[in-house]
Structure 1
Amino acid sequence: MEKIHILTDSSSDIPQALVEQHGIEIVPIMLSHGGRTFREYYDITPAECCRLLEESDEIPSTAMATPAVFLESYNRAFERGCTHLIGVIINGSGSGTYQAACLAKGMFEEEHGEGAMVIEVFDSRTYTYIYGHIVVKAAEMREQGESFEAITSVIRSRLSRVEAYLGVYTLKYLKKSGRISGGAAFVGEALGLKPISFVYDGAVKVCDKVRGEKALAAGICKKVAARVQQPEKQTGILLYGDVPEERLAEVEKRMREEIGFKDVVRCAIGPSVLSNTGPLAIAVAYYGAPRE
């Protein structure tokens, strides 16, 4: 009989209540700031990270989880009698964490023999709860008695279709992190420009710039509406940093009324992603057409 262990890294931003409810293991990404080191999920919350970003001129740096950390996780699962292990990991193009998980798989198989425990590690090709909610779905399927093959098939299908649009309300933090120049930030802020990025298949690319806060919400939802597949059958995901409730409510209303999602869930963006976007970030995740 299959006994399946499910793990992901902390950048998946799965809320703690769901982690505990579904028995998902979280491998932490490390953050450093001001001479201190934090384990994402365990030592620092999204709200604490937002305050840190707002109060400090220094942007936290992140460090991938190491192969040794993953190997320890695999060994613990094996010692508990697990026959299969599933890992869904942050975008391999933007972090070495996925490669570390794969290296640990090879190390485990060298130590215990190939097939001692079946391990499948997925490169999510994306960030935050955009892939975190797929991990939760996998854990739900495990609880329902679904097979390893069925669960991995659903993960593979969903990762091939999930995408998102991300917007930021200020350029200040992109300037702090060096992602844009001081001059570009000055001009952009003077003109009230708000960039929108397409989060798709391992890349995050600016695809538009709008003027004004209301235009950002409208612009994101317009782009989602053009790509989403059967929104009436989907639960849209609203991701956010330290964004005022009225702005979140506006985006959620547009998701429900203009796009027509069956339902909407909200999820806070975690520290490792906020360190790159800044706290005033918002995103909408959904399922589009399958990618090869």
Structure 2
Amino acid sequence: MPNKCYELSERKVVESLASKIKIVTDSTSDLPEELVRMHDIHVVPLYVNFSEATYKDGVDLAAKDFYPMLEKAKDSLPKTSMPSVGDFVKVYESLLQQGYEILSIHISSGLSGTASVAETAAGMLKGRISVFDSKSISAGIGLQVLEAVEMVKQNLSLDHILSRLEEVRQRTEVFFSLDTLEYLEKGGRIGRVSALLGSLLKIKPVVRVENGIYVPLDRVRNQKQAIQKMVEHMVKTLAGHKPKGVAVVHGAAEELAKELKKLVEETVGIKISLFKETGPVIGVHTGPGTLGVGFTY
């Protein structure tokens, strides 16, 4: 007969060891609040700067309130800014004082200096803090964060998690379509997608996040075609494999996003549980009408 006292003791040791690593990310990961609470993920917000006020992404300003404000501010689009070193120090210091090691997973350094700010903050403190560049955005970051959470639950060491997370990063894809290039261009994040600007056609670009930057993947005439193309590219990338995790995100385009979700589920045979409207910081650069799918495999 098993020794129940021993089993309980062993479980407590495992839970104690597993809890010694905490996950930090930033608000561009677009993780639903219920998952953040459930897994005790610490989210450092970026900032959205309208002419009349500055808001913390997802804290002072939710997506449902942001997109109407964006539509009204077309003549003076908001800007975004990174968290301060102090913002990161505050979060890191609290966790270190509780005896935790920290894994901090952030938006691609090719799109934001957030990871660099996190590195600066980490260098100011005593304790184990590993800053990880997701080389992705939105759903791509969120899926990497959730994989890291599962690794922590498996009681893996921080070094082991980092090694496996590098593999996950290589197998993380994000495809998204834009209703217009206006916001990407004005936000200064257009990168190689600028090649599409010279077109006189009314096109909707389909974009891939490749090695941390935006690259054009396809072009279509409408968002219905964009949905089809994203799923086609997803199937091609998977090459017969099942995805480990899938997320669908959108910017003020819920009904179209539901169509994308349905087509992905029917095509690859997986139930999508991560479905979210992109937050204000991502929305500043992509605008309303954006649709995206992220997946790991």
Query: What TM-score, normalized to structure 1?
Result: 0.85
Question: Aligned pair 1:206/2:206, yes or no?
Answer: no
Shift in CA distance, 86/176, structure 1 to aligned 2, threshold 3 Å = closer
CA deviation after TM superposition for structure 1 residue 244, in Å: 4.0
Q: 3-state SS of the aligned residue for 2:208?
A: strand
Q: Distance in 1 between matches of 2:97 and 2:122?
A: 15
Q: Tell me which residue corresponds to 2:47.
A: 30
CA deviation after TM superposition for structure 1 residue 69, in Å: 1.9
Residue-by-residue CA offset, 1:45-86 (whole Å, 9 max, x unaligned): 11111111122212221111122222222211121122x111
Any gaps of 5 or more consecutive residues in structure 2? 1-15
| 2:141 aligned residue (131, 137, 142) | 131
Q: Tell me which residue corresponds to 1:154.
A: 164
Question: Aligned pair 1:145/2:155, yes or no?
Answer: yes
Q: Distance in 2 between matches of 1:96 and 1:172?
A: 22
CA deviation after TM superposition for structure 1 residue 233, in Å: 4.7
| 2:247 aligned residue (237, 246, 252) | 237
Question: Aligned pair 1:102/2:119, yes or no?
Answer: yes
Q: 3-state SS of the aligned residue for 1:263?
A: coil
Q: 3-state SS of the aligned residue for 2:58?
A: coil
CA deviation after TM superposition for structure 1 residue 177, in Å: 4.7
Question: Aligned pair 1:74/2:74, yes or no?
Answer: no
CA deviation after TM superposition for structure 1 residue 242, in Å: 0.6
Q: Distance in 1 between matches of 2:41 and 2:254?
A: 30
Q: Distance in 1 between matches of 2:69 and 2:95?
A: 35
Q: Is the 8 A contact 1:22 1:140 kept in 2?
A: no
Shift in CA distance, 89/172, structure 1 to aligned 2, threshold 3 Å = closer
Q: 3-state SS of the aligned residue for 1:74?
A: helix
Superposed CA RMSD in Å reads: 2.4
Query: What TM-score, normalized to structure 2?
Result: 0.83
| 1:44 aligned residue (38, 61, 65) | 61
Give the percent of matched residue pairs that are identical in Structure 1 and Structure 2.
27
Q: Distance in 1 between matches of 2:198 and 2:53?
A: 29
The amino acid that maps onto 1:285 is: G
Question: Aligned pair 1:250/2:259, yes or no?
Answer: yes
Q: Distance in 1 between matches of 2:185 and 2:28?
A: 23
Shift in CA distance, 176/87, structure 1 to aligned 2, threshold 3 Å = closer
Q: Tell me which residue corresponds to 1:223.
A: 233
Q: 3-state SS of the aligned residue for 1:121?
A: strand
